[in-house]
Amino acid sequence: MINRAHKLPISRQAELLGISRASVYYLPRPLSENDLTIMRRLDELHLRYPFMGARMLRDQLNRQGIDIGRKHVSTLMKKININAVYRKPNTSKKQPGHKIYPYLLRTLTINRPNQVWALDTSYIPMARGFVYLTAVIDWSSRKVLASKVAITLEACHAVDVLEEAFKLYETPEIINTDQGSQFTATIFVDCVEAKGCKLSMDGRGAWRDNVFIERVWRSVKYECVYLYAYDSVKEAKHSISKYLDWYNQERPHSNLNRLTPDEAYYGLLSPLKKAA
């Protein structure tokens, strides 16, 4: 990613990649076993009670015999990329140079493949440590079009996933994300706009704006991730990839009239091609 021998200054390289300059020099320390255990518990609580912020999560952990303060909970929430999902004023500071795009889906009827894609990144616990899973789904069919497991939240991973989806499938009209720094980074925005797609972003803290991919995360974690304690990143990648293949090909959805995502995606796509 960062080429220290390149003539372009490191600060400029970091800016183009959508990461802070400080992170280039930071050497991460391994988390304690206690913190890893708490992070997994926070993730489970967040899936069940997405409205809970640091104070409520602290109270829940305290009631379970875990001695932890609000600030420590807040720090761990940032590491696993979760926020309370109630509506609140957008008082946070934007990443310098990063534009926030409006949410375009509020009154839109989404009823065909490749009309809207959604991207998001979620925390995946392992036996010793954690990774992040980034995925892009087709909104109308719930089909997972591409995914990637990585050890950081850098924008390049979101770009990799999106470019893979572009290679395998048609170009969507709209791509929807949250306001995470990996999705507001210049390289990600450029990747979207180079294909002529419109970029839509959720309101801050408004999980329902991207609800379908949140449901995918719930399925991935309860039906796959939480059943295992991955010993390596390679094992996590293999297991999640295998699950997502099954999810697309064999897992029926009640909201899709009991069709699988593949059946819904290709079934709706065929009449569109015939009409064209």
* pLDDT tens digit sequence for 6-21: 667 767 777 766 666 6
Inform me whether the pLDDT recorded for 274 exceeds 70.
Answer: no
For tokens 């094992």, name the residue. Answer: 235
pLDDT of 89 reads 44
> Between 3.30.2130.30, 3.30.310.50, 3.30.420.10, 3.40.190.80, what CATH number should domain 116-275 receive?
3.30.420.10
Mean pLDDT across 152-178: 94
pLDDT at 223: 95
Q: Which of 223, 52, 81, 97 is nearest to 157 (CA)?
A: 81
Of 11-15, 177-181, 203-207, 219-223, minimum mean pLDDT range: 203-207
- pLDDT of 91 strictly over 60: no
Residue 24 predicted with pLDDT over 90: no
The tokens of 158 are what? 């979101």
- pLDDT at res. 40: 92
Query: Which of the two residues, 215 and 85, has the higher pLDDT score?
Result: 215
Burial (CB < 10 A; 0-12, 13-18, 19+), residue 71, is: exposed
Amino acid at 189: V
| Claim: this prediction has a pTM higher than 0.85 | no
* Measured distance CA(65)–CA(236) in Å, rounded: 30
pLDDT of residue 6: 66
Is residue 240 pLDDT above 50, yes or no? Answer: yes
- Please determine, for residue 107, whether its predicted confidence score (pLDDT) is greater than 80: yes
Return the C-alpha torsion angle 213, 268, 159, 153, nearest 10. 10
Two structure tokens written together for 221: 């974690």
The pLDDT, as a whole number, for residue 3 is 61
Chain centroid offset of residue 25 CA: 25
Q: What token pair was written down for 12?
A: 């400029």
Q: Which residue has the higher pLDDT, 66 or 17?
A: 66
| Mean predicted lDDT score pLDDT of the chain | 85
Q: What are the structural domain ranges in the chain?
A: 10-79, 116-275
Q: What is the pLDDT of residue 21?
A: 61
DSSP 256-271: GTTB-HHHHHHHHHHH
Q: What pLDDT sits at residue 150?
A: 94
Q: Which residue has the tokens 């499938």?
A: 169
